[in-house]
Amino acid sequence: MDVTRATENVGMRRPLAALPALSARLIGLAAIWWVLTDGSADAWTWGIPAVIAAAALRPGLRSAGAWRWSLPGLLRFLPVFVWYSTRGALEVAILALHPRRRPDPILIGYPLQLPPGPARIFLANLINLVPGTLSTRITARSVEIHVLAATPSLMRILATLERRVADLFALDLESGPAEVRRP
């Protein structure tokens, strides 16, 4: 068998093997787009290119590693997730609508004890549920957070979330007090 021909055959099998996954992504993303736009025909002008691009680009994105959760950690984490989701929504609404409460935005750096990888990314996304916070960047040692109003309990809340995420991912944290820094 010719070496060039063997290489060409392998190259052709790879795209064909990816078709079922690509088709599933296209269907799934199209369904999400349809739900988000209430099935509006006008929305498909932007939707078709967006769905195709998202489905095609997904395989090129690198994963940060395997997400391995512990079941006991997940069961302990779920009430925390529900609590912070609800509390976050209510507190931001009160801050936005109350005439006497004014936002005092600031960027802070929260030093991370979690090892690099999926747990840090999960924590950074979870921080967005804390009332008036938004994770803006993960560095080698910390996560940068935009805060609408710094409260004395913020560090305690962030440390609690970090411990819960460590528990969820079955990780041990280094002990020691975390200090907030301003970037």
Domain ranges of the chain: 3-60, 71-168
pLDDT digits (tens, 9 = 90+) for 90-103: 877 877 787 777 77
Is the separation of the CB atoms in 120 and 143 below 8 Å? yes
Above 80 in pLDDT, residue 3?
Answer: no
- How confident is the model at residue 112, as a pLDDT? 93
Query: What are the pLDDT digits (tens) for 103-138?
Result: 778 899 999 999 988 889 989 988 988 878 889 999
Q: If you write DSSP's letter for every residue of 5-25 in order, what string do you get? A: HHHHHHHHHHHHHHHHHHHHH
Handedness of CA 97, 78, 69, 175 (dihedral sign): positive
Whether the model clears a pTM of 0.75, i.e. scores above it, the answer is: no
- Collapsing DSSP to helix, strand or coil, 137 comes out as strand
Instruction: Please give the mean pLDDT across all residues of the chain.
Output: 77
Instruction: Note the pLDDT tens digit of each residue in 13-55.
Output: 555 666 777 788 888 888 888 887 777 778 788 788 888 888 8
- The model's confidence at residue 66, banded by pLDDT at 50, 70 and 90, is low
Per the structure block, which two tokens stand in for 12?
């052709």
CA distances from 79 to 71, 82, 84, 92, 158 (A): 14, 5, 9, 20, 16
Q: Answer whether residue 145 shows pLDDT above 90.
A: yes
